[in-house]
Amino acid sequence: MSNAAPGALSGLKVIDLSRVLGGPFAGQVLGDHGADVIKVEPPAGDETRGWGPPFNAHGTAGYFEGLNRNKRAIALDLSRDEGRAVLLRMLEGADVLLENFKVGTLEKWGLGYDEVLSKRFPRLIHARVSGFGADGPMGAMPGYDAILQAMGGIMSVNGTEATGPTRVGLPVVDMVTGLNAVIAVMMALTHRAATGKGQFVESALFDSALSLLHPHAPNVFLSGKEPRLTGNDHPNISPYSSYATATRPVYLAVGNNRQFARLCDEIGAPEIAQDPRFATNADRVVNREELRTELERAMADKDGAALGEQLIAAGVPAGPILTVNESLAHPHTAHRQMVVEMDGYRGLGAPAKPAATPPSFRRPPPEFSQHTAEVLAEFGFTSDEIAALQAQGITPAKPL
């Protein structure tokens, strides 16, 4: 273990019943900041353990590893009465229950928040990650990142006329939903500190997808016009896109006239800034293709990597387009501690860094059921009870 200083959430106990992405990511964020997160997997395990290659030496996929550090793992069959009885004993000492079951599953098991959990555990915060929420025209429907990118309007503004609508190349809706779940838990903890009462909080993929539609939704609200596919271009700003150089492309994000003039000076073409076609941002947006031609002509003999660093050092928002490997190997990535290494595990660091209570990386992602006996003993189970639960298949030691 490394960097084991207590974080801002030290002392918080989280029972994480979630699987796949949004919920586990939320649990990992809580764990990175000091919470004791207990990952409760079904007898078959979290399916992302098999979402590879690549796999680690124990046969666990990198996909799982990216979402489940700083957790202890147990296996528990919640479809059986005995498994649910174990969960209820664990909740007696828990602050947060995190889950992303299909809406209605806990109610079917007799574990609904309103009917059971809120009465038995009044201080408990029940955080649910769902696809569409519990009610409404699509209430209780299952949700998946790519489907919500499609239905939430994200794909409709991502891509070009040639490619058509395109999925963002990472699970942005799932991950933002996980972050929204963390925000909701923090709000509920603040409320509990003031009132002594827990509450139910929900973070839905549908809501999170829509929340990402800036500036497209405000543009629609004002103009009524349907946004169009613009590829790497920004709908409201120019130059704000990727531009060719002699080597790799460079991305420019120039938001005002001062930056635009500086850009033109740095690339050796100050006359571009004097052209009346490009006098203001509105002019540059209208004439964006002509502006692209002029800028790319001026940058045709320049190295994209060097130019990107030159421009940002000069105060022009710009950067070379790097590969994932190049980004991870960048010296500033190391300086910002955004790659974590421990016990043979490598993962992304924590982006939130409170100065007095920094994140810590205490445990690599757990193997299946790795901590079952340890965790159950902490909740008062005797060794005989633990052995009986394992023998009955309630807490299997290996995936079933």
384 carries an active-site annotation? no
Instruction: Write down all domains in the chain, each with its CATH number in brackets.
Output: 13-212+334-391 (3.40.50.10540), 250-320 (3.30.1540.10)
With CA atoms as reference, report the closest residue to 292 among 224, 244, 324. 244
Which residues have C-beta within 8 Å of that of residue 218, sequence separation ≥ 6? Answer: none
pLDDT of residue 232: 93
Q: Write the CB contacts of 238 (distance below 8 Å, at least 6 apart in sequence).
A: 254, 281, 284, 285, 287, 288, 291
Return phi, psi of residue 349, to 5°: -75, 180
Separation of CA 72 from chain center: 20
Q: Decide: 357 and 8 in contact? Cβ < 8 Å.
A: yes
How far apart (Å, rounded) are the C-alpha atoms in residues 98 and 15?
Answer: 6
pLDDT of residue 343: 86
Please give the pLDDT value at position 5: 67
**Sites in the chain below the pLDDT cut of 50:** 1-2
Output the CA angle 265-288-284, nearest 5 degrees. Answer: 60
From the list 36, 77, 145, 174, the catalytic residue is 174
* pLDDT number for residue 278: 98
Look up the pTM and report it: 0.93
